[in-house]
Amino acid sequence: MKKFILALAIITCSPAFAATEQKVEDLDTEVEAETLEVFEHRKMEEQAEREARDFDRQAKQLEQEIKQLKSESKKISGRLESQTARFKRIAKLAAAAEVRAKALQAQRNQLKARLESLNARIQQSQSRLSTATEMQSQMNKDIRNGEKEKRELTLRHKAAEQRIARAQAAIKKMRQQQKRLSQQNNRMADKVATRERMAEQLEEMSLESEL
């Protein structure tokens, strides 16, 4: 950069150098080279500045990402601690639930055994009830038959009593008749005997008369 400024000063300020064309051409070439070098150098500087700006931007972005990652890491760490505590609580609750489940399972088994026993007893009771019902039905049938037979026997008893009463009345009447007949027969027998004696006496008297 300094050489370029110096060359320009020499060209503008030194007329002696302007006379020499070869020197001017050499100076132009040198200036052009310097210009190119300065341009390339500036271009490189601009490129370096752009790269530096990009690097700074990337660095800032990376720093933000690092901050974000740290924040997320803290959040994750907090969530991890929370989840760990929750896991411990859940594990504790799961252990308690398992103990309770085992107790409930044992209680369920006991209740199931009692239920099976109760079902067996119910079946026995139902069987006994069915037998008792059948016996009751048969006994009711027997009672109905007995009551029917009792009614029939009662009717027959009444009929027999009536027949006995009629027979007793007839017997009494026949006895009275028999007694009267006996009395009549006795009187008749007395009369007959008297008549026979009289007949015999008369016959004897008749025979004696004939003699």
Determine the pLDDT at residue 155: 92
Residue 114: HSE in the Cβ half-sphere, 13 Å Cα cutoff: 6
Cα separation, 143 vs 131, whole angstroms: 18
For 30, residues 6+ apart whose C-beta sits below 8 A from its C-beta are 3, 7
| Distance (Å) of CA 172 to CA 154, 160, 164 | 26, 17, 12
User: What is the pTM assigned to this prediction?
Assistant: 0.34
* Contact by Cβ (8 Å): 41, 34: no
The pLDDT value recorded for residue 34 is 66
Segments of the chain scoring below 70 in pLDDT: 1-39, 209-211
pLDDT computed for residue 57 by the predictor: 81
Rounded distance, CA 122 to CA 60, Å? Answer: 85
For the purposes of burial, counting CB atoms within 10 Å of the CB of 11, is it exposed (0-12), middle (13-18) or buried (19 or more)? middle
- Quick one: tokens of 32? 């052009």
CA distance 148 to 137: 16
